[in-house]
A and B are shown apart, each in its own frame.
Chain A
Amino acid sequence: MSDTPVPTSRPGHGARVGRGVFLATTLGGLSSLWWGRAVWSRVSSSIGPLESYIPLIPSGGWRIYTISGSLPGFDPATWRLELGGAVEHPVSLDYRQLLALPKASQVSTFHCVTGWTVHNVAWGGVRIRDVLAQVTPHPSAHALRFVSAEEPYVDYLTLKEALLPDVMLAYEMDGKPLSRAHGAPVRLVIPDMYGYKNVKWLKGIELVPREELGYWEQLGYDQDAWVGRSNGYT
């Protein structure tokens, strides 16, 4: 490319401060790979009450991860949760029947494997125990397959994991019915595991003999997604 020369300022004047600023910013930025999270959690908790007024901050710290073209819709009239697989009596619950099951509430923290965290989420829903009571699993069933309406998203928990005391099928978040973005009408919540195990837009649960690889696990994520001790984190 031929180019017309531009008269520049007299060279050689002043100190090369810019080089220092560039290096300091770059090194500071790269080092934040190790300290960024700790600082951000402090900043975000101090600006917490302001968050909802600033349009450029994701509300409450959530980001909406999806794997398909659009978010599954929810029509209370036609929606069903299919409970099947290795069970005595398969059941198809409608939304009203789901809400009629014994209700549990909890406040727990949600961790995404990509590094963001939402503290103190208030969930309302049903425990897995009360769901399983509807269908009576066969003795051969040792795991559950959670099927999302967002195809082909599925993930698995062992029966033991699913029966941990703070695991639930949540249909309420922060006192309101679960929104479409968060997996309406019902999602899995397992606070001790990263978000990709917390299947959204549930449409079915099957009892299966053993755990298999879920959607992200087939792409290399850990099957046991324990927060802080899986997926390369220690």
Chain B
Amino acid sequence: MTRYVRRFSRTERVLHWVNALGFFTLLGSGLVLYLPSLSVLVGRRPLVKDVHFWSGIGWVSLLVLVALAGDRRGLLRTAGELERFDRDDARWLTGRRAPQGRFNAGQKLNAVLTAAFTLLFFVSGLLLWLGERDTRFRFASTVILHDGLMYAALVLLVGHLYLAVIHPATRHALRGITVGTVSEDWARRHHGKWTQD
């Protein structure tokens, strides 16, 4: 019989899926605003702009709300795990085999960059909205930053989706972020240092 170990708390899972939902809503509405072919196809630019803006506000507000209402102490512990890189992580990142903790070095890097991108998306998006209303908030490069973030975030997303949904060795992780538990056997193989503790 397969034995399972708990990898993600409910707070972590809710945060992940709120973030995913927000990201895809913003990506979809954002591409309609950004790509001429989609802009022409869909039309209704003022409506799409509103959807995009309020999704952004809702996205960040929900993330903050879930973090505050959920297991804050647990999240802080997780943040501590995510930001620490040891020698094994350095080895792992340079393509060598090395035992990994609850998060491997790639997952840590993905989480750290995603957090920074979220903040930058929010700030640049707010500046775009404010700049349309008041020239004091207008920078020549806000739109470049916002668009550039989209490309950078897409690169991360494609890698993340490939590993979480397609790659046979790693896609078991999807179970963890959905129901919370992963098989002990899989955890031992992929996150040896975590299961030892």
Task: Tell me the complex Cα distance, A161–B134, Å.
Answer: 25
Determine how close the nearest CB of chain B comes to the CB of A229; give it in whole angstroms: 12
Q: Judge whether A56 is part of the interface by a CB distance below 8 angstroms.
A: yes
Interface flag for B175 (CB, 8 Å): no
A: number of interface residues (CB 8 Å): 57
Interface contact B84-A17, CB-CB below 8 Å: yes
In whole angstroms, what is the CA distance A71 to B111 when docked?
41
- Asked if A56 meets B85 with Cβ closer than 8 Å, knowing A30-B120, A32-B148, A63-B34, the reply is no
**What is the minimal beta-carbon distance from B84 to any residue of chain A, in angstroms?**
4
Q: How far is the CA of A10 from the CA of B135 in the complex (A)?
A: 50
List the A side residues contacting B119 at CB < 8 Å: 26
Q: How far is the CB of B73 from chain A (nearest CB, A)?
A: 9
Cross-chain contact of A21 among B36, B45, B78, B116 (Cβ < 8 A): B116
Task: State which of B7-15, B52-60, B166-174 sits at the interface with chain A.
Answer: B7-15
A56 with B6, Cβ < 8 A, contacts A3-B71, A16-B84 known: no
- Known pairs A3-B9, A66-B43, A69-B43 / 10 extra A-B pairs, C-beta < 8 Å: A6-B6, A6-B7, A14-B85, A15-B84, A21-B113, A32-B141, A32-B148, A70-B43, A115-B141, A116-B143
Contact residues of A between 116 and 138, Cβ < 8 Å to B = 116
Chain B residues with CB under 8 A of A71: 40, 43
Check if B35 is an interface residue, CB within 8 A of chain A.
Answer: yes
Q: Is A46 an interface residue (CB 8 A)?
A: no
Q: How far is the CA of A222 from the CA of B154 in the complex (A)?
A: 36
Chain A residues in contact with chain B, CB under 8 A? 1, 3-19, 21-22, 25-26, 29-30, 32-37, 40, 55-56, 58-59, 62-71, 113-116, 180-181, 219-220, 222, 231-233
Per DSSP, chain A at the interface is loop
**CB–CB A59/B37 < 8 A:** yes
Q: Contacts A3-B74, A7-B194, A71-B40 hold; do A219 and B85 have CB atoms under 8 A apart?
A: no
Complex Cα–Cα for A219 and B69 (A): 39
In the complex, are the beta carbons of B141 and A37 less than 8 A apart? yes
Please tell me the size bucket of the interface on B: 35 or more
Which residue in chain B gives the minimum CB-CB distance to A21? Answer: B112
Instruction: Name which residue of chain A comes closest to B109, CB basis.
Output: A21
Q: Is the CB of A26 within 8 A of B116?
A: yes
Interface membership of B128, Cβ < 8 A: yes
- Given known A9-B197, A18-B108, A37-B140, contact A67–B45 (CB-CB < 8 A): yes
Which of B12, B70, B85, B113 has the most A CB atoms < 10 Å from its CB?
A: B85
B83 touches A18 (CB 8 A): yes
Q: Which residue of A lies closest to B69 (CB)?
A: A1
- CB-defined A-B contacts under 8 Å, sample of 21: A6-B9, A8-B194, A9-B197, A11-B77, A11-B81, A18-B85, A29-B149, A32-B144, A36-B144, A36-B148, A63-B34, A64-B39, A65-B45, A66-B43, A71-B43, A113-B138, A114-B132, A115-B140, A115-B141, A219-B132, A232-B135
